[in-house]
Amino acid sequence: MRSQVQNLLFPHHDGSELYVSNSAPKIGEKVELRVRVPKGDKTHQIFVRLFHDGEPRTFPLKKGRPRAAETWWSISIEILNPVTHYRFLIADKSAYRWLNGEGIFGREVVDREDFQIIAKPEYPSWTKSAVFYQIFPDRFATSGAKKELPDWAIPTSWNSLPSGRGPKVGGEFYGGDFAGIKEHLGHLQELGVNAIYFTPFFPSRSNHRYDATSFEFADPLLGGDEAFLDFSAAARKLGFKIMGDLTTNHCGVGHDWIQIALKNPDSKERDFFYWDKSIRHGYVGWWGHASLPKLNYDSQLLREKMYSGPNSVVKKWLKAPFEADGWRIDVGNMTGRYLEQDINQEVARGIRTAMDEANPQAWLVAENADHSPSDLDGFGWHGSMNYIGFARPVWAWLNKPNKKIDNFMQLPVPIPSFDGKAMVEMMRSFSAGIPWRSFVASMLLLDSHDTARFRTVVGKDIPRHVAGATLLLTYPGVPSIFAGDEIGLEGEWGEDSRRTIDWDHPKKWNHELFSQYKRLIAIRKNSDALCNGGIRWIQTGPNSIAYLRESAKESVLVFVARSAGRYQINLKPYGYSVKETLFGPASKSDLLTISAKGATSGIWRLK
């Protein structure tokens, strides 16, 4: 098995603090870039190739004093443009290689995967140590308060399973509310998470609330603004950050904007939408749904109401008294895009500007089921929900075949099965060509309210589930746990995964899983390397991978295997040995030998 493992000992650079002296410089400031070259590498010279005013320039790096395991090379460059693209030319005496965001290549490469420095202020610093908990408000907890139900709601008993598919699925009403969530903040405290991401809490005509009838107040079925503020005060007292979910791409058909537009063709609200007489209901809906009228940002008034105006939706909820800590933007990649119109980045930058004005420390993350590097250029979204560069490759590596599970890669075939090398290649492909800050400000997730549960994906295999959770809580980015994953909730597709937590029978929970999540979350929050470090892949194989997370204060080794075997990791070429075992098999050596009876994972602090 070890013969199939590829050891990755190459020159390295990433956007973290060890390699870039200032990731958020101003125009005219100088930034030191550093490259780490392992002992024995044939490097003779290193040059940085960057752009000044669109023209490529090449400058030599200075070689530092050799160390036992490596030599550092460095150069100070002046930041002259809002975006600085760069990569490194590594030359020996007869050939050269390129080092860019995707890796090292003994061939020519294109600029698309270059490293990038963005001359904009720092992103919200608190996200570096945040561990989010995603709550679908109707399903987490109910206070039991009596509610006058609207005509769309189908009363559903708390511990029954969602029907999963069919016309009534969006109407099944379980009655979760803010008061119920407040009552169970102790569960979140015990787990160790420190931030809460709510799917929409606006009034609507469905249980998922992605069809808002207003963006101005919290849904009375959840307790309204008063209950939201009461919950928020309790949560903030315990140190929680709170993030909302906003549908900038569409509203619900019950919203005043579309109702006014339908009744009065001469109204200003008419310009908020796309109209098409060939469509039965007369207007364009998201994915053709009449219930979700798509918003047209050619209207300056819509922009003012949604984000740019002083009392806009985006700004209102970030300011007192609500003081939310950020927005997750639903289908952010679709906002502002329709047929020949593409103003997506213009709208994204407008939302970013509005958030910077209202609260510069608010986090802006967009849902993007696929990925285009231009969506994360550093000037719009801080990051995206990292499906393509994390969740999908992890599923492909750790899943156990199950034809009942929906392929959330939006393909009409079962979930693929990749080896570890392919998983890493997919991960690196995502991170290459976007600013480091956009990479580490993206949300990590194993699943969500839109996908099957990860426990179901791995066939209820707890060691595999823990292996995935280890990746989630040690990889660069902002980890998010879908409520109930930590106690073993299941689900074969999105609607099926939106199950309630049985608070009355905690003995039914998977307490082993809860304990492992709790340990991993504590490690994540208390490790400087995991919060602030870069990532250096050191080993890939069919069934195992290993990487280093290194910051100025700490270095950590992470190892994950998906199956039984005997694995070895030699840290000596990297100049490390184990100082302390944080998780998994104990070791205090520079040569780790791991004998696994099944999937396994480990985290070690190094010296």
Long-range contact list for 169-173, CB < 8 A, 24+ apart?
A: 169/495, 170/206, 170/207, 170/208, 171/206, 171/207, 172/207, 173/138, 173/149, 173/207, 173/221
Q: Quote the DSSP letter at residue 272.
A: G
* pTM listed for this prediction: 0.96
The whole-number pLDDT of residue 2 equals 45
The pair of structure tokens assigned to 226 is 């008063």
8 A C-beta contact, residue 367 and residue 284? no
Residue 210 neighbours by CB under 8 Å, 6+ apart: 199, 200, 204, 247, 252, 292, 330
Beta partners for 74?
34, 62
Name all domains of the chain by residue range, CATH numbers in brackets: 25-118 (2.60.40.10), 133-529 (3.20.20.80), 532-606 (2.60.40.1180)
Residue 369: the pLDDT is 65
What pLDDT was estimated at residue 166? Answer: 81
**Integer angstrom CA distances of residue 115 from 33, 85, 92, 95:** 11, 6, 22, 22
Dig out the tokens for 562 from the structure: 């998906």
Q: CA torsion sign, 175 to 179 to 180 to 181?
A: positive
Question: What's at 34, amino acid-wise?
Answer: R
Is the Cα dihedral 483, 402, 444, 363 positive or negative?
A: negative
Per DSSP, 1 falls in state -
Distance between CA atoms of residues 297 and 205, nearest Å: 24
* Amino acid 409: pLDDT: 63
Handedness of CA 527, 531, 532, 533 (dihedral sign): positive
Tens digits of residue pLDDT in 553-578: 999 999 999 999 999 999 999 999 99
Weakly modelled stretches of the chain, pLDDT under 70: 1-3, 369-370, 408-410
On whether the CB atoms of residues 452 and 491 are closer than 8 A, the answer is yes
Q: What is the pLDDT of residue 395?
A: 96
Residue 534 corresponds to which tokens in the numbers above? 């870069």
